[in-house]
Amino acid sequence: MKSWICIFVFLFSACASSPFNGPNPFEHTELLLDAEETIGGLIHASQIPQKLLGHTKAIVVFPNLLKAAMIAGARVGKGVVIVRSPKTGKWNPPAFVKSRQASWGIQAGIQKAELVLLVMTNKGLKQLFKTQYDLGKGPQIALGPVGKTIDLNLALSKNDIFAYSRIEGLFAGLSFEGTVISSDKQANYEYYQQPVSNRNLLMGHEGIKVPESGQAFLQRMNKLAGQRDAGPNKQ
């Protein structure tokens, strides 16, 4: 009996240390698909105006933010950032980010939220190139306009970033105070199989081999979000 127990323990230990128990190779591809689904869902529901996307400099997507139920809770999640190339009008390779929002007080339940940020100005764009930044500070962020018909000049005249969110199937606003977004170096390394910074990805530096799933994601985003339109463009 003891010999069987020893064999079981040995096999369990071997499996636990197996290289196949490392990071899920499909995790980041799934995140890209979820990000695309979030954006597409908000567009389809006429929450994000297609017209506005043509003037977007960058898009930040968190398809699954979780709000944990604790006395001192926190909203955490993993996301994707893409920046539009000023030369081609197409999207540069996706960079992975993570978010954490500290929140104090009694909270009940676990609440899932989807969040999309449309960066409209160069001031807002500069934030994305930092290793870490606080959404509650710096560029002006506001709930984005909705509907198929909007006054584009008015929409672009006051804010740097537009936010769209959906909480458990409902469209609602989120508080961004204390929300910190930081680059996910580990995710970038695992996906691109090389050390690469968010800055280099977002700037579209040459020499970065984008996996097939990333190329497919960018192709779909170029169709979904469109190329830059002619017209008003806030700096």
Residue-wise pLDDT for 133-182, tens only, equals 888 787 888 888 876 667 767 666 778 999 988 876 554 555 677 788 89
pLDDT at residue number 103: 56
| DSSP state at residue 47 | S
Strand partners, 96: 80
pLDDT at residue number 108: 45
CA pair distance 133, 186, nearest whole angstrom: 18
Q: How many CA atoms lie within 13 Å of 182's alpha carbon, on the beta-carbon side?
A: 9
Q: Is the predicted pLDDT of residue 73 greater than 70, yes or no?
A: no
Higher pLDDT, 234 or 118: 118
Higher pLDDT, 154 or 58: 58
Instruction: Enumerate residues 6+ apart whose C-beta is below 8 A from 101.
Output: 74, 75, 76, 175, 176, 178, 179, 180
Q: Please tell me the least confidently modeled range out of 23-32, 98-107, 113-122, 146-155.
A: 98-107
Q: What is the pLDDT averaged over residues 97-119?
A: 69
Q: Is the predicted pLDDT of residue 81 greater than 90, yes or no?
A: yes
Q: Is the predicted pLDDT of residue 15 greater than 70, yes or no?
A: no
Helix 185-192 with 27-44: angle, nearest 10 deg: 110
CA pair distance 212, 25, nearest whole angstrom: 13
Higher pLDDT, 195 or 12: 195
pTM > 0.85:
no
| DSSP state at residue 20 | G
Q: What are phi and psi of 94, to 5 degrees?
A: -70, 140
| DSSP state at residue 179 | E
Q: Please tell me the least confidently modeled range out of 2-11, 93-102, 164-173, 218-227.
A: 2-11
Of 223, 206, 225, 190, the residue nearest 31 (C-alpha):
190
pLDDT at residue number 60: 95
